[in-house]
Amino acid sequence: MKVFVAGATGVLGRPTVRALVEDGHAVRGTARGPEKADLLRSLGAEPVEVDLFDPDALRAGIAGSEAVLHFATKIPPIMRMRWKGAWRENDRLRTLASRHLVDAAINSGAQVFVYESITFIYGEHGDEWIGEDGSLSISWASLKSTLDAEGETKRFTEGGGRGISLRYAAFYAPYAQSTLDTIRLARRRIFPVPGDGSNFVSSIHVDDGATAAVAALQAPAGVYNVTDDEPLRMRDYGRAITDAVGRKPPRRVPKWLFGLVGGGPAKYILSSQRVANARFKEKTGWAPKYRSAREGFQQVAQELKAQEQ
């Protein structure tokens, strides 16, 4: 299949391009500048420099593609996440760029459109398992834009194609900056666990997110959760990280203090989200390599240690 990947050099884009090429697909991906273009060539893909906010250029870039993956994001660093303005570019990518990408995909006659959504939109669910029909909670303004993008993906389906929104759990990987920041905090023993840490955290290794993207090309239209098999309580998630880097269990901080420092995103980090991946597994046959963050962060620590030697 001829596949166009927007955000091809991002955290999810890079391993997805690799997985697509390994699966035999012909891949074109967006790349800004010669360095990122060379990166895509090294992965076996054709780089395309195109402005996602320019509909005419986008139609030309996507022409002939059978599948379009919208993985373009602009997630701010952990220390800036609480500032609304830091999410402005990401919101534009989810709203305006999504509309242009869907228009271009329809114009090219593409069969499939895949959007990178997030599980944070489910909000608080206690200990219950959350399926794709679970209730949503959008009190943080920067989450509304992902529903706008899901709406554009549904529009692609209404136009006769297969629009697929993949609601990814929290990403981690040895090449993700957020993970490197988390590991740094854990090594210094300042990675916090809010309250008693009883809330559930759903996560997914980015490599597993990439194989899920490939599997999605054959999935029926709809919304799917992409998470590992065993969501962990926050205290166990934190312990998985500190165990992986050989440190004592993480310190606990009052919830009110975490909320004060964390701003808007803190509410969703404090929420309990035990997200189920059963529908996606059933429809595609996909399964994560890392069943939980316990195994996944061990891999992260081992790879980082190898890089440091």
> And the tokens for 117?
């959504």
pLDDT digit string, tens, across residues 251-270: 888 887 776 655 556 677 78
pLDDT at 85: 61
CB burial string 2-27: b at 16+ within 10 A, e below? ebbbbbbbbbbbbbbbbbbbeeebbb
pLDDT at 79: 55
Give the chain's mean pLDDT. Answer: 92
In angstroms, rounded to a whole number, what is the distance separating the alpha carbons of residues 61 and 124?
40
Size of the chain in residues:
309
On the question of pLDDT at 216 being above 90, the answer is yes
**CATH code reported for the domain at 2-171+202-230+274-290:** 3.40.50.720
Contact 94, 148 (CB under 8 A): yes
Contact 235, 197 (CB under 8 A): yes
Query: Which letter does DSSP use for residue 94 in this model?
Result: I
Whether this prediction's pTM lies above 0.85 is answered by: yes
Phi, psi of 295 (to 5 degrees): -75, -40
pLDDT at 93: 81
